[in-house]
Chains A and B, each alone.
Chain A
Amino acid sequence: MNSNKKTARIAGILYLAHFLTFFLADNGVHYTGVEPLDPQALLQSMMSSEIWFDIGFVSFLFTGITFFLSAWALYVLLKPVNKELALLFMLLNLGGISVWLASMNAELAIPFLLSSSDVMKVFQADQLEAIAVVFLSIFKNGYMISQILLNLWLFPLGYVVYKSGFIPRILGILLLIDGVAMLTWSIQYFLFPGYEIISEICLGLGFLAEGSFCLWLLIKGVNDEHAQSIRKPA
C-alpha cells in the first residue's frame, strides 16, 4: 500500500496550510518579523480594520494548529525510523504550539482596550494605549519564547529525516541548518537587539529549508519501496 506516500502528502498539505495561514496572518495585522517592536504604529495598523484583526487572529490560530497537525503526520511518517526521536520532535512542537497559542491570549485584550465601546472609556486614551502596548509586548515576547521550542524541534526532525533513507539527505541537513539559524534568531531577539540583519538572513535560510521540505513532501512524497523495507523489520 501507499500509506507512507499518503502520510507524506498529508504532512506536506498541512505544512503548506501552515505557511499560507502564516502569511495571511502576517500581512493582515500580526507582527512576527525581525524588526524591533514599534507598538504605536503596530497598534494603529491592527485597529485600523477590526475585521482584518479578526481574520489575522483566526488565521494565526490555524497557523499554530496546522503546524502541530503536520508535526503529528511527520511523527507517523518517521516513527519507524527512530521512535524516540520522532516522539521528541512531536512533543517539542506540541509544547511550542501551546506557548504560541497561550501568548495569543494577551492579544485578545487589545480590541477591548482600543475599540469604541464605552466599557474602558473610564481610562484616558493614552492610558489605554499604554496598557495595550503592555499586552502587545506580552504577545510578541510569548511568541518569541514559543519559537525557542519550535527551533529545538528541528534538530531531532532534521536528524531523523537525514537517517530515514526515504527523504533526500540534503533536506535533513537543511533542517539542521534551519535549526541553528532559527535559534540564532531567538538569541538575537532577546540578547542582541539592533542586529536584526543577522535574523533577516536566518529567517531567509529557514524559509528556504522548511519551504523545500514542505514542497518535497507535497510533490515528490517519499521513496516508497525504501520506506516499506524500513518498516518491515520494525
Chain B
Amino acid sequence: MIRIDSDNKTARLAGFFYLLLAITGTFNFFVKEKLFEYANPEATANKISASLSLFTLSIVSEQIMATVWILIAITLYALFKKVSKNISFLMVSLVLVGGALVYLTVASQIAALVIVKNTTGYFASFDTTQIHALVMLCIDVARELAYANYIFMGIWMFPFAYLVMKSGFFPKTVSKIWGVLLIFGGLAYIIDFFTYFLFPGVFFHLTPFAFGGDMFSILWLLIMGVSHQKTDSA
C-alpha cells in the first residue's frame, strides 16, 4: 500500500513537471512568433532590441523547458524503473542529450542578445545592416538546432510509450490510447525532422497535431495518478 502511495506521488510530480513544460513551452512559442521574422534581419533585430526584457524572458523560459524536460524523464525513471530498468534508463539518457541540445540553442540566442546589447560598444565598427545580419544568423542557427533536436524530442517517446503500455499502472484502454498517441507524437517529430532537412520545400508539418500524447501525460499523471490495474507487475 505504501508503495502505491509513493508511486502516485511520483506520477503526480512528473505530471506537474509536464504541466510546467507545457506552460513555458507555450509562452516560449508565442514570444518567438512575436519577435522573430525569419529572412528579415532588420525587423528581427529591431524587435529584439525594442523588447529586450521579453527576449530575455523567452531565453529563461527555454532554459526552464530544458531543465523540466530532464526532470520529467528522471521522475518517470523513478516511476517506471520496476517495469524495465534498461528501457527507463534509455529514456533518461536520450532526454539528457536532447536537454543538453536545448541548452545549446539557448546559447546561440544569448549570443544574439550580446550583439544587440553591445551595438554601440565593441560592435560599433560594424554597419547596422551587418549587425542585423549577425543577429539573424544567431537566431537562424538556434532554430536549425531546435529542428535537429526534433530527433530527440521524438525518439524518447518510444521508450516512454513502451513503459506506459507495459506498466499496468493505468486502465487498459487508457494505456493503449496513451501509448499510441505517444508513438504517433514520436513519429511526427522524426518525420518533421526529415522533412525539414531533406525536403525543405515541403511546408506541411505533423508536430502541430502531435500534442495528444503530451496532453494525455499531463491529464493522467497529474490528475488521475497511478491506479495499479494489475498487481502482477509488482
Residues of A within 8 A of B (CB): 51, 54-55, 57-58, 61, 65, 68-69, 72, 75-76, 79, 90, 94, 97-98, 101-102, 104-105, 108-109, 112-113, 117, 119-120, 122-123
Q: Does B137 contact A (CB under 8 A)?
A: yes
Q: Which of B57-65, B72-80, B100-108, B217-225 contacts A (4 or more CB under 8 A)?
A: B100-108
Stretch at the interface among B112-120, B126-134, B161-169: B126-134
B97 touches A97 (CB 8 A): yes
Q: Which residues of B contact A68 (CB under 8 A)?
A: 93, 97
Task: Say yes or no: B90 contacts A72, CB within 8 Å.
Answer: yes
Chain B contacts for A104, CB-based, 8 A:
148
Asked if B144 is an interface residue, CB under 8 A from chain A, the answer is yes
- Interface residue B229 (Cβ < 8 Å from any Cβ of A): no
Contact: A105 with B108, CB < 8 Å? yes
Contacts of B197 in A (CB 8 A): 54, 57-58
Report the bound CA distance from A93 to B89 in whole Å.
14
**CB-defined interface of B191-234 with A at 8 Å, one 1/0 digit per residue?**
00010011010000000000000000000000000000000000
A141 → chain B, closest Cβ, in Å?
A: 16
Q: How far apart are the CA atoms of A76 and B89 in the complex, in Å?
A: 10
Q: Is the CB of A112 within 8 A of B137?
A: yes
Bound Cα distance from A57 to B200, whole angstroms: 14
- Is A122 touching B130 in the complex (CB atoms < 8 A)? yes
* A100 CB, min distance to chain B CBs, angstroms: 10
B136 adjacent to A119 (CB under 8 Å) = yes
Chain B residues whose CB sits within 8 angstroms of the CB of A76 once the complex forms: 86
CB-CB under 8 A for A58 and B97, given A76-B86, A120-B137: no
Query: Nearest CB to that of A71 among chain B residues?
Result: B93
Q: Number of contacting residues on B, CB 8 A?
A: 30
User: CA A123 – CA B96 in complex, angstroms?
Assistant: 38
Nearest residue in A to B194 (C-beta to C-beta)? A58
Q: How far is the CB of B199 from chain A (nearest CB, A)?
A: 9
A101's partner among B86, B101, B133 (CB-CB below 8 A) is B101
B144: A residues at CB distance < 8 A: 108
- CB closest chain-A residue, reference B132: A122
Report yes or no: B93 in contact with A94, Cβ–Cβ below 8 A: yes
- Closest residue to A87 on the B side, CB-wise? B89
Is the pair A55, B141 in contact by a Cβ cutoff of 8 Å?
no
Q: Which 6 A-B pairs have the closest CB atoms?
A: A108-B144, A122-B129, A76-B86, A98-B100, A109-B141, A122-B130
Instruction: Tell me the complex Cα distance, A234–B184, Å.
Output: 38
**0/1 interface trace, chain B 37-79, chain A, CB 8 Å (1 if under):** 0010100000000000000000000000000000000000000
Is the C-beta of B145 less than 8 angstroms from some C-beta in chain A? yes
CB-nearest residue of chain A to B96? A94
Within 8 Å of chain A (Cβ to Cβ): is B182? Answer: no
- Of the candidates A51, A54, A72, which one forms a contact with B93 in the assembled complex, judged by CB atoms under 8 Å apart? A72
For the complex, give the distance between the alpha carbons of A117 and B89 in Å: 44
- Given that A55-B198, A97-B97, A113-B137 are known contacts, is A119 also in contact with B41, CB under 8 Å in the complex? yes
Residue A122 contacts which of B100, B101, B133, B198 (CB distance < 8 angstroms)? B133
> How many angstroms between the C-alpha atoms of A101 and B89 in the bound complex?
20
Known: A75-B86, A109-B140. 5 other contacts (CB 8 A): A58-B198, A68-B93, A102-B101, A109-B141, A112-B141
Q: Are B93 and A119 in contact (CB under 8 A)?
A: no
Residues A105 and B133 in contact in the complex (CB < 8 Å), given A94-B97, A98-B100:
no
Asked if B19 is at the interface (CB within 8 A of a chain A CB), the reply is: no
Question: Nearest chain A CB to B29's CB is how many angstroms away?
Answer: 21
